[in-house]
Structure 1
Amino acid sequence: MLDMIWEEQQGMEEIYQWVQWLQNSLLSHLGFTDEIILSKGDLTCHEDGGDKRACRDDSAPDVIITRIVRYDDDKRHEAFLHDIHDCMICFSEFPGVDFVTLPCHHFFCRKCIQTYCKIHVKEGTVLKLTCPDTKCEGVVSPYILKTLLAEDEYERWEKLLLQRTLDAMNDLVYCPRCETACLEDESNDAVCPSCLFSFCTLCTSHRHVGKQCMTAEEKIRKLEERLKSRQERGDQNLTDEVLSLQAIMRDAKQCPRCKIAIYSLRS
């Protein structure tokens, strides 16, 4: 009877109908008018007869559910490969085997998505290499990129992505001696993890312990130069710092003894 239900509605969700039939119709189908009491021995699966699919499974529910979900995914993927689909980039029809499915579940024909990825890598816009769907910001996974790009293109993508990620860090500076990436602290100082050079990130010279590095005007000029080099990334934190220093220079004076910016009270 379960096979019959399956055959009558192929491709539909069958498990709920099976459960409903087992709960409501099984006893009457077998000719019983009341409940059936089974002993533990009655639940043993015998290998010498009967349908082996009906053997009792002692697996935990989460294990069984995982099997069902995996089976469903496999069947859906199998059906996708044999069906015809439209590519949302070139609007052409291709069989499912010619498509690449992204982690966000959007899919595009291999030729289009390959060209799309190659262009971004060539132009260096790796941070914009996301799902081509305009309403989606899903990523193109490294595994997929490795199947679409040549070896040298994939290496370029890795280097560009690392560099863009490092450049986007507001507290990242480079050692003036060995060009190693370093983290800047709140005092505009940094220690190179490679050559251990301790330096001021504003003038790139040795740290100024207890001494003033540069005047406020010089610091503004230095930060403006750094801001100019980061404008393409839209570094708002650095912009705010420059604007704050400009406001201090406009409305405040320096203490003649400690050089801290002070505001004069006006009556």
Structure 2
Amino acid sequence: LALLCQRLDDLWVEYAGEVVLFAWMQFLKEGTLEYLKINSPYEIQLCEFGPKCIKNNLGISDSCSATGPAEAVIWDTRAIQDVESVTTLIDCILDFNEAQQKKCFDSKSYMCDICFSEKVGSECTHFKKCEHIYCNACLKDYYTVQIQDGQVQALNCPEPKCSSVATPAQVKLLVGEELFSRYDRLLLQSSLDLMADVVYCPRPNCRTPVMLEPGGEMGICSSCKYAFCTLCKLAYHAVAYCNITS
């Protein structure tokens, strides 16, 4: 990066008094790899020490020198990596890109295929998988009915035969905190109901999910500490025969 900064400075001097932006763009797009003698963008070697090798605000370091610690290297402070890792940098870029896409989406107008009204993007929900767009008012009414009826697995895109599903964040934004709590609880319950090794505490005022041991017939509620038989759901009777099996 320090070499790139130096090359951009050289172009600035060459184009003194003229527009240099396009020359910069052309160099960065077409000449960067060749200038740095990089055969592939996947072979870029990062500084082993990263930002920790910088000793002061002048960018002087004695730990990244190719000739040893005795010779100090002056780094271009514009080229210093100020993030912890490349992964963090990529995450920042992706977050910024998503924010810009959202900003662009919010500023445009879209036709809702339910109410056939034109709404700005900030009043609409975009299903990224299928690219369908509906206004928030219509989706709120649609999802509210589904949640109240307990159909939490059906919060998908209203388009017929479309398999796109609304994310929990989208559902929460549309229906509000109270209804979302019901949705979240029912969704968890429906998922637990599909698990063979999970039962609910038999006590009516508890109903906490209990994970069963493989082959075991005793369940212990982690909430109320009630020990029960997983077959008859009564208090655990140890070696006594269970009414369900006797």
User: Structure 1 residues 75 and 145 mapped into 2: Cα distance closer, same or farther (>3 Å)?
Assistant: closer
Change (3 A) 1:146 1:5: farther
Equivalent residue, structure 2, for 1:157: 183
Q: Write the distance in 2 (CA, Å) between the matches of 1:152 and 1:90.
A: 26
Query: Per the alignment, in what secondary structure is the counterpart of residue 97 of structure 1?
Result: helix
Contact map agreement 2:146 2:152 (CA 8 A) in 1: yes
Which has the larger helix fraction? 1
Q: Which has the higher contact order (CA 8 A, sep 6+)?
A: 2
Larger radius of gyration: 1
Cα deviations by residue, 1:4-48 (Å, 9 ceiling, x for unpaired): 489xxxxxxxx68742166789xxxxxxxxxxxxxx87x868xxx
In 2, the alpha carbon distance for the partners of 1:23 and 1:197 equals: 68
Are 1:168 and 2:194 counterparts?
A: yes
Structure 1: gaps spanning 5 or more residues = 7-14, 26-39, 46-55, 220-258, 260-267
Counterpart-to-counterpart distance in 2, 1:172 and 1:17: 65
Query: TM-score by structure 1 length?
Result: 0.51
Structure 1 residues 82 and 16, CA gap change in structure 2 (3 angstroms)? farther
2:30 to 14, 20, 32: 20
Taking a change above 3 Å as real, the CA distance of residues 210 and 91 of structure 1, as seen in their structure-2 partners, is same
5+ residue gaps, structure 2, are 1-18, 36-72
Q: Specify the SS of the correspondent of 1:190.
A: strand
- Please say if residues 202 and 234 of structure 2, whose CA atoms lie closer than 8 Å, have aligned partners that are also in contact: no
1:192: how far off?
Answer: 3.0
Show the counterpart of 1:138.
165
In the TM superposition, residue 213 of structure 1 has moved relative to its aligned partner by 1.8
- How many residues are matched? 183
Kindly provide the CA deviation profile for residues 208-248 of structure 1, in whole angstroms up to 9, marking residues without a partner as x.
4334324xxx55xxxxxxxxxxxxxxxxxxxxxxxxxxxxx
Q: What is the identity, as a one-letter code, of the residue corresponding to 1:57? A: A
Instruction: Check the 8 A contact 1:178/1:195 in 2, yes or no.
Output: no
Letter in 2 for 1:95: V
Does residue 204 of the first structure (1) align with residue 233 of the second (2)?
yes
AA matched with 2:218: D
Distance 1:73 1:177 in 2: 46
Instruction: Tell me which residue corresponds to 1:98.
Output: 123
Counterpart residue identity of residue 234, structure 2: S
Task: Give the CA RMSD over aligned residues.
Answer: 4.0
1:125 paired to 2:151: yes
Residue 116 of structure 1: CA displacement? 1.9
d(CA) in 1 for partners of 2:33, 2:222: 69
TM-score by length of 2: 0.54
SS in 2 for 1:100: strand
Q: Percent identity?
A: 22
